[in-house]
């Protein structure tokens, strides 16, 4: 089933690609009037508007009401109500884009995917209580880029909108041009950047990548406790006590046994 954002995007696609307007000049005596007509797949557009409206009723009832009014009056002044419908669709897209923004952006090497999966599972989700929809991690299928999406634009947008950016520094990361480009985007966004060192690098090896005073070893219980305290406080999440302690230890044990 399509969500609100997808339905609004479908409406916009129809209006942009399959609806057009003509400007008509009408002369009456010595006065020149301007009139507009709407042409194209109007029925398809209005059907898509109805689908969107039904999806909006519970979350945005006032917006759904405005869509219904303009759709009902569409036959009278098409250009006025088409413009109004298009504007409302743009507003819905903006609202949903903001509410769907990822909270955590993880910049990492795809070669470190297994560590990222454990970090996301044990620490961010089971331990802290975030959902997979809160996390953008390109190497994890349900948290990354879907088929057909522009990779560069998608990464740029998620970096820009994220509350936190985690840079997972490893030898693989240092050797990756893509990762270093991501790091540049993260630095530019400056949205609560946190640097974490994976097991195969130490403070002496990271060099110019970041200020060593700001980097932490990912496998340190103290570092992970500080992360948990920061995220639960920032998002108003309950501290899970014993559950957190167990999941943190699961992750620490995993990293300790990780084969480089």
Nearest C-alpha neighbor of 49 from the set 76, 88, 78: 88
- Name the pairing type of β-strands 215-217 and 135-136: unpaired
Number of C-beta neighbours around residue 153 at 10 A: 10
> How long a stretch of residues is the chain?
260
Determine whether 72 is an active site residue.
no
Listed in sequence order, the residues at least 6 apart from 81 whose beta carbon sits closer than 8 Å to its beta carbon are: 70, 71, 73, 74
Chain centroid offset of residue 80 CA: 33
Q: Whole-angstrom Cα distance, residue 253 to residue 31?
A: 83
- Active-site residue identified among 72, 133, 142, 182: 182
Dihedral class, residue 40 (left if φ above 0, else alpha if ψ from -120 to 50, else beta): left
Q: Whole-angstrom Cα distance, residue 260 to residue 202?
A: 14
Q: Integer distance in angstroms from the first to the last C-alpha of the chain? A: 42
Q: Which residues are catalytic?
A: 182
């Amino acid at each position: 089933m399509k969500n609100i954002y997808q339905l609004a995007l479908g409406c916009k696609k129809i209006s942009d690609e399959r609806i057009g307007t003509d400007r008509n000049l009408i002369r009456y005596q010595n006065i020149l009037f301007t009139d507009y007509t709407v042409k194209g797949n109007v029925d398809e557009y209005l059907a898509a508007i109805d689908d969107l409206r039904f999806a909006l009723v519970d979350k945005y009832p006032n917006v759904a009401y405005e869509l219904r009014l303009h759709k009902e009056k569409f036959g009278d002044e098409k250009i006025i109500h088409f413009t109004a419908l298009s504007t409302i669709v743009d507003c819905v897209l903006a609202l949903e884009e903001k509410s769907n923004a990822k909270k955590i952006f993880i910049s990492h090497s795809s070669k470190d995917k297994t560590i990222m999966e454990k970090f996301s599972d044990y620490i961010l989700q089971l331990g802290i209580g975030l959902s997979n929809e809160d996390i953008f991690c390109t190497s994890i299928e349900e948290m990354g880029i879907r088929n057909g999406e522009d990779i560069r634009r998608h990464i740029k947008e998620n970096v820009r909108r994220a509350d936190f950016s985690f840079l997972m520094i490893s030898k693989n990361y240092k050797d990756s041009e893509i990762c270093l480009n991501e790091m540049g985007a993260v630095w530019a966004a400056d949205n609560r950047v946190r640097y974490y060192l994976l097991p195969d690098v130490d403070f002496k090896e990271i060099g110019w990548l970041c200020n060593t005073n700001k980097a932490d070893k990912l496998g340190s219980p103290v570092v992970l406790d500080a992360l948990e305290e920061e995220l639960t406080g920032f998002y108003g999440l309950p501290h899970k006590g014993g559950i957190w302690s167990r999941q943190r230890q699961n992750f620490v044990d995993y990293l300790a046994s990780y084969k480089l």
